[in-house]
Amino acid sequence: MAPALPAGKVAPAEIASVIAVDTINIRTSLRISPTVYVRLICPPELGY
């Protein structure tokens, strides 16, 4: 376990869990609609 951090800081474990959830959501989105996933990464404003 990571040592306790002062209030107002985010624990590395929390960051890791958020990243893990985001990764799961990305994989699910790829199954549902690759086009939507591409637009999230490369918005039309960027010209992709």
Task: Give the pLDDT of residue 48.
Answer: 46
- The CA distance from 43 to 48, in Å, is 7
Q: Is residue 23 part of a domain?
A: yes
- The CA distance from 26 to 41, in Å, is 11
Number of domains in the chain: 1
- The CA distance from 8 to 30, in Å, is 34
Tokens of 29: 């989105």
Distance of CA 48 to the CA centre of its chain: 21
Task: Give the pLDDT of residue 16.
Answer: 80
Q: Is residue 2 part of a domain?
A: no
Q: Is residue 3 part of a domain?
A: no
Per-residue pLDDT of 5-48, as tens digits, reads 555 566 777 878 887 888 877 777 666 666 665 666 666 665 54
